[in-house]
Structure 1
């Protein structure tokens, strides 16, 4: 009735169908994971946009000015004197100190001239 080759071919077809089903199932699971990650990315981008809008609202100069006037007694702020703002050329230069390393012993092979570590190199 059935030959051996028929049975082998049926077994190959069943295994190919099982492999195809398993691969399709794994691909769908990975696609679901990718969609979840994309949704999280969209949520984070929306959160960042919201925080940027909130930051720009909180740092408006008119709002900061009214807060500074409201809390003048606690903060004790003073106006900036134009002489306090200087350019880079007006700042005093800091002296550069270079440490002399030539008098220090270097240590290691340079100290005694021989290397005690055996590395397997060819010795002449």
Structure 2
């Protein structure tokens, strides 16, 4: 009986921790969305791992590095009008283990002349207690 109680408590504790992690990840994405909609790329980029190993895969293929990613965002979205208004549809958040997660979602931009949209997959890693995007594949 005591073993069953211990196993049950471990399962319950793990489930609670995963639920907290999922909420923290959703908060990361919401913080990004809000920063984007303010035209604030620097704050938007704080959710990315500040490393030369950060991986971003877009239509021009894989690129590495936090600064490279920021520079590419600045080039592709030079002003608030180009950035438009961003919304996400989060389709899946999988906590893989206590330090890694996978997110699948859709992004939508509303701009004066068009409404581009696509999908993204993110690999997030908990680094020093904070969930950060270490790989982003957006199309």
TM-score, normalising length: structure 1: 0.32
Q: TM-score, normalised by structure 2?
A: 0.29
Structure whose CA Rg is larger: 1
Select the structure that is richer in helix: 1
Query: Which structure has the higher relative contact order (CA within 8 Å, separation 6+)?
Result: 2
Relative to total residues, which structure has the larger strand share, 1 or 2?
Answer: 2
